[in-house]
Amino acid sequence: MRLSAPPHPTTPGLRRVSPVTERPATRWLLVVTALVFLLFFLLMPLAAVFVEALRMGIGPYFAALVDPDAIAAIKLTLLVAAISVPLNLIFGLCAAWSIAKFQFKGKSLLVTLIDLPFSVSPVIAGLIYVLLFGSSGWFGPWLAGHDIQIVFAVPGIVLATIFVTLPFVARELIPVMQQSGTDDEEAALSLGASGWRTFLKVTLPNIKWGLLYGVLLCNARAMGEFGAVSVVSGHIRSFTNTMPLHVEILYNEYNFAAAFAVASLLAVLALVTLVLKTCLEARGGPGVSSSGRP
């Protein structure tokens, strides 16, 4: 049976839009305001990055990218992401699993704590580690005694990055897992599957898209983080400079073309992330990205 209404003539003079639809002028104003903001605050700066990067031509652009310091910064950024993203993946899975699938004391506290890195300034996040592991920090003397360097070295950068990116995977997974409940897992167990097999064959496919989405955002933040990393890095060229820090150094040295060249890499990373994110949202349906991310 078809339920489409029979066509009927429109009475002239009646408004044909719903009561919540604004008048054309209002609509036009809203759209233009949004577009102007987008243009001035997003598109123009993004374009400026690429324009400035290529101002001296393609030769100097690539020269800036293959500069040993730049290579070292890129390598370090990749290394930091390669360590912190998997660790946050594990943490996110554990946290989301425990929050979504069972009850325990202090659950609401855990939920609040997961959001802490979002609400704390990244500079504070960096300072925490300086206070803990710096030469005059709590563990400073002990670490110095054992010849372990954390602050102003790679471990410190990794720690600060993990702190800042902690919420991404968990935040993304919690609603997905809560929504899917425990029925599927119970069904798998009742069919004789082991806990591990249930996780691999039932839970993981159910949360796959949400998980990828979280990892993607986590990775973008891990590579682009500036504040927290800046505090713990010490800015030692070729050793503790990540890409965002390298950009700053070049810029402060009035080496604009090189600064924007490296910055353009970060911009490309952002664009790639954006495209992948859109694909994942299309793939994963409404379940993905239902969390309230700041």
Partner 1 sequence: MEIQVHDIRKTFDGTAAALDGISLTIRSGELLALLGPSGSGKTTLLRVIAGLEFPTGGSVLFDGDDASHRTVQERNVGFVFQHYALFRHMTVLDNVGFGLAARPRANRPAKAEIRRRAEELLALVQLQGLEHRSPAQLSGGQRQRVALARALAIEPTVLLLDEPFGALDAKVRKDLRRWLRQLHDRTGHTTVFVTHDQEEALELSDRVAIINQGRLEQIGTPSEAYLRPESAFVFDFLGSTNVLPVEVRDGRAFFAGCPVPVADGIEAGDGHYTLQARPCDMMLAVDRQGPGLGGIAEMVRVSLGRVRVDMKVGGLARPIELELPMKGEGWRELQPGQSLRVRIDRYHLFAAP
Give the binding site for partner 1 (CB under 8 A). 103, 183-184, 186-194, 197, 201-202, 205-206, 208
Please say which residue, 196 or 254, places its beta carbon nearer to partner 1.
Answer: 196
Q: Nearest approach, Cβ of 196 to partner 1 (angstroms)?
A: 11
Q: Nearest approach, Cβ of 110 to partner 1 (angstroms)?
A: 19
User: What is the b/e burial string over 16-40, where b = at least 16 CB atoms within 10 angstroms of the residue's CB?
Assistant: eeeeeeeeeeeeeeeeeeeeeeeee
Please say which residue, 107 or 201, places its beta carbon nearer to partner 1.
Answer: 201
Please say which residue, 35 or 187, places its beta carbon nearer to partner 1.
Answer: 187
Answer for the pair 97, 177: CB distance below 8 angstroms, yes or no. Answer: yes
Q: Nearest approach, Cβ of 202 to partner 1 (angstroms)?
A: 6
Whose structure tokens read 């855990």? 110
* 61 Cβ contact partners less than 8 Å away, ≥ 6 residues apart: 53, 54, 257, 261, 264
Please say which residue, 57 or 181, places its beta carbon nearer to partner 1.
Answer: 181
Using alpha carbons only, what angle is made at residue 211 by residues 172 and 179, rounded to the nearest 5 degrees? 55
* 189 Cβ contact partners less than 8 Å away, ≥ 6 residues apart: 195, 198
Q: Nearest approach, Cβ of 200 to partner 1 (angstroms)?
A: 11
Please say which residue, 151 or 173, places its beta carbon nearer to partner 1.
Answer: 173
Q: Nearest approach, Cβ of 127 to partner 1 (angstroms)?
A: 41
Answer for the pair 175, 261: CB distance below 8 angstroms, yes or no. Answer: no
Please say which residue, 15 or 105, places its beta carbon nearer to partner 1.
Answer: 105
Q: Nearest approach, Cβ of 175 to partner 1 (angstroms)?
A: 17
- Identify which of 170, 152, 168 has the alpha carbon closest to the alpha carbon of residue 160: 152
What are the CA-CA distances from residue 61 to residues 48, 58, 87, 240, 248 (Å)?
14, 5, 34, 23, 17
Please say which residue, 54 or 193, places its beta carbon nearer to partner 1.
Answer: 193
Residue type, 92: G
Please say which residue, 156 or 284, places its beta carbon nearer to partner 1.
Answer: 284
Residue 191: burial class (beta carbons within 10 Å; 0-12, 13-18, 19+): exposed
Q: Nearest approach, Cβ of 89 to partner 1 (angstroms)?
A: 20
Q: Nearest approach, Cβ of 219 to partner 1 (angstroms)?
A: 24
Backbone angles phi, psi at 37, to 5 degrees: -60, -45
Helical segments of the chain, H only = 24-38, 44-53, 58-66, 68-101, 107-119, 122-133, 140-145, 154-165, 167-180, 183-190, 195-198, 204-224, 227-233, 243-252, 256-284
